[in-house]
Amino acid sequence: MATLGKKLLKFRQESNLSQSQIAEKLAVSQAAYGKWEADEHKPSADNLYKIAMFYNIDINDLLDENEKISISNNEIGDNNIFGNTTPTINIEMPKDFKDLIENFLQNQFQIIEMQSKILSELVQHEKTK
């Protein structure tokens, strides 16, 4: 299980940043950031937003302890509001979860097709009145 602290540590290390460097970029103290990585404290909603923006990921990805997330880009550039390039995020999901998502999407497409047919019939019906 990947805790928020473990994810923050991994993201920071893969970005080749020290705790002080990331803390400075997030405008927080190094001590506060260190406590987040150690899972001693949780960042505020504002700070979670900053972290998500910095790493260009969804806040839910930070908070979900069932997902395994890694950053594959080790370079820091100047493309987003915090001065980073957009990292590539790899999310490893269990196969059954992928199947569940695929089935869900197929069902959604079927529902949309059905709704489209119903709307067409309603329009036809209104035209014949």
Higher-pLDDT residue of 110, 9: 9
Clarify whether residues 69 and 123 are in a common domain: no
pLDDT digits (tens, 9 = 90+) for 62-98: 777 664 444 444 434 444 444 544 444 455 556 666 6
29 pLDDT more than 90: yes
Instruction: Encode pLDDT of 41-64 as tens digits.
Output: 988 888 888 898 888 888 877 777
Do 70 and 114 reside in the same domain of the chain? no
Q: How many Cβ atoms sit within 10 Å of the Cβ of residue 51?
A: 25
Amino acid identity of residue 122, one-letter, is L
The DSSP bridge partners found for residue 103 are: none
Task: Tell whether 28 and 80 lie within a shared domain.
Answer: yes
Domain count, the chain: 2
Q: For the domain that residue 15 is a member of, what is the CATH number? A: 1.10.260.40
Q: Which three-class secondary structure string do you get for 1-67?
A: CCCHHHHHHHHHHHCCCCHHHHHHHHCCCHHHHHHHHCCCCCCCHHHHHHHHHHHCCCHHHHHCCCC
Quick one: pLDDT at residue 111? Answer: 85
| Single pTM value for the model | 0.51
In a shared domain, residues 76 and 113: no
Domain span holding position 116: 93-129
What pLDDT score was predicted for residue 113? 84
Average pLDDT score over the chain:
77
Instruction: Answer yes or no: do 71 and 14 share one domain.
Output: yes
> Do 82 and 113 belong to one domain?
no
Q: Cβ contacts of residue 86 below 8 Å, gap of 6+?
A: 56, 73, 79, 80
Residues 70, 52: one domain? yes
